[in-house]
Structures are given as structure tokens and as C-alpha cells.
Amino acid sequence: MLDSIRSFFSQRMKQPSPEIGEHAATERHRLYISACALLLELAHADDEFTASERAHIEAVVRRHLDVDEETAKALIELAELERESAIDLYQFTSLIRDNYDLGQKTLLAEIMWGVVLADGRIERDEGYMLRKIANLLDLKPGYLSEARKRAASKDED
């Protein structure tokens, strides 16, 4: 799977500057896949992946990774394959936990709340899944609560 990830990023996304190095670039790409897989896990938590959830995830990927629509869709498809073949969330959360700082984790939590709120309702399974992911990321409940408030206020705009 690592080869397909490398191939995807070398064909579709902006190439990293030479000073970053191939290992660091590959690690960053794995982080993108992991974050996207977590968003998809939340979207599927209630067994209904709605069009509004898909649109929200695509918009987030496009905005935060600065990619076009086709590339965003391909990245989501790759993350979906990773999510479906994963035994648990640990492979995604451990990578993010170890590489994201508190600000990045909080932003990811805000984005995750955006996915949960995208269809206009918070299902019990979605709330549980979000708290579980936040716990695996070592994100304290207070930060999760603040992220929810920010996501909800963006939804009202």
C-alpha cells in the first residue's frame, strides 16, 4: 500500500521542496491519509455516509491540502480503502498523535465536528466515535468542547 500512496502523491500533489526529504514527505502524506481516514470513519459511524458529509470532507481536503477537486476525491478514495482494510483506528490515531501538535489536533477535532454536524444532526454513534478518536489522540475534553463550539459557529455562518 505504501507504493500506491507514493504513486498517488507523486502524480497528483505538489512535490515537496528538496530540503524536506523523501522520508519526511512520505510521513506527511501518511498523515494526510490518516486524517482523511478518521474523517471518513466519523462519517460512516452512523452507517449513513450522506452527501453533505462527503461534500464537507471534500471541501476540507481541498482547502487544507490546497488540491483540486479531482485530487481531493482520489485522496478520499485512497483513505477509504485504508479505512476499510484497517483493523482498528490505532494506525491512524497513533501517527497523528505522535506528529501533530496541540493546535493541529484541535483543528482536526474542529474539522471532525464539522463532519458530524454536516448532516444537521449528531447521532449517538458519531458522538461516541468522535470522543473515542479524541481520546486516542490524547485530546482533552475541554479542547474537544471548544472545537465543537467553533465548528457549530462556522455552521451558522
Alpha-carbon distance of 32 to 35, in angstroms, equals 5
Predicted TM-score (pTM) above 0.85: no
Per-residue pLDDT tens for 50-102?
898 999 999 999 998 888 888 889 889 999 999 999 999 999 999 999 999 99
Provide the number of structural domains found in the chain: 1
Q: CATH code at 123?
A: 1.10.3680.10
- Please give the grid coordinates belonging to residue 123: 447521532
Burial of 156 (0-12, 13-18, 19+ CB in 10 A): exposed
**Quick check: is 89 in a domain?**
yes
In the block, residue with C-alpha cell 468522535? 130
**Quick check: is 7 in a domain?**
no
Which range of residues forms the domain containing residue 87? 23-156
**Quick check: is 15 in a domain?**
no
